Amino acid sequence: MIMLTGLCIYPIKSCGGIDLSEAEIGEFGLALDRRWMLVDRMGRFLSQREYPLMAAIKVSFAGTDELLVQAPAMASLYLPMAAPQGAAKLPVMVWSNELAALDCGEDMHRWFSAFLGTDARLVCFDPAARRECSRDWTGDIVATTQFSDGFPLLVTTQASLDDLNFRMQQKGAPALPMNRFRPNLVLSGLDAYEEDYVDTLTIGAGDNPVVLRLVKPCARCPIPGIDQSSGLINAQWPHEPLDTMATYRANERVGGLTFGQNAIVIAGVGKHVQLGMPVQAELNF
């Protein structure tokens, strides 16, 4: 039996995640996921690829209308969930996509810049903006996302992580937790890498379930090598897990090493998903 065993959102792109027991499905995936982003002076997004210390920026809920942002040796920061009213619009870049975002103000700018040691301005996704996912992968389906790399959801499976960890431990490298791969949804009950062959996932039962389509394998950069608690890289195994993945996870379609699948929402906007929900998988061959 396939089951939903993990739910996580990352309110600020490339910063700490929040594990959930229940989440609402929206047009952009899970509510609040990648609604905010840090950018440099040119408006280009910052990530753990260049600033691994971003992993040490922790985000949690502070009541019903604020997020609490914390980092080592920094005063706590409170971030309103609502889009800032009357904020200046700034041009920003997420890879090749350019769009306007809302500036979250100078207090946020100073806080993030001080912690990361570089110019880091926090922006919020503009509700009036529209960022479409690549039709090269979604086909006739028009899907949108906020500040994710390209698609609203990332799905991984426990069996795939177990297999990767077995391979790593065979060479003496330490096992990795799932948070290294920063998924939104984690499934148990599928075989290792069976997600590579899934077309749609139906979560829950009844007349109006949540339906996701898995559209693109997720190509992996060095971020899975960064400890998501500290922002540090294991000095003894600095190139893991990519070195191990290179022996069996190369994918010509995306030109890289893959783990997990990017997904879009087909049905169920406004519905809630919960840990323990049953999942049906329809294969694409």
**Residue 207 pLDDT:** 79
* Mean pLDDT score across all residues of the chain: 97
Would you list the domain boundaries of the chain? Answer: 2-283
CA dihedral 259, 262, 268, 274 (to 10 degrees): 30
CA dihedral 10, 52, 237, 174 (to 10 degrees): -30
Give yes or no for a contact between 30 and 9, defined as CB atoms under 8 angstroms apart: yes
**Residue 205 pLDDT:** 79
Give yes or no for a contact between 194 and 8, defined as CB atoms under 8 angstroms apart: no
Give yes or no for a contact between 213 and 199, defined as CB atoms under 8 angstroms apart: yes
CA–centroid distance for 208 within its chain: 25
Stretch 238-242: mean pLDDT:
98
- How far is 20 from 268, CA to CA, in rounded Å? 19
Tens-place pLDDT, residues 109-138: 999 999 999 999 999 999 999 999 999 999
pTM of the shown model: 0.96
Quickly count helices (H) and strands (E) in the chain. Answer: 4, 19
Residue 80: asked if its preceding bond is cis (omega within 30°), the reply is no
The SS3 assignment for 49 reads coil
What's the alpha-carbon Rg for the chain, to the nearest Å? 18
Stretch 235-264: mean pLDDT:
97
In DSSP notation, 117-149 reads TS--EEEEE-TT---BPPHHHHTT---B-SSSS
**Residue 27 pLDDT:** 87
Does the pLDDT value for residue 206 go beyond 90?
A: no
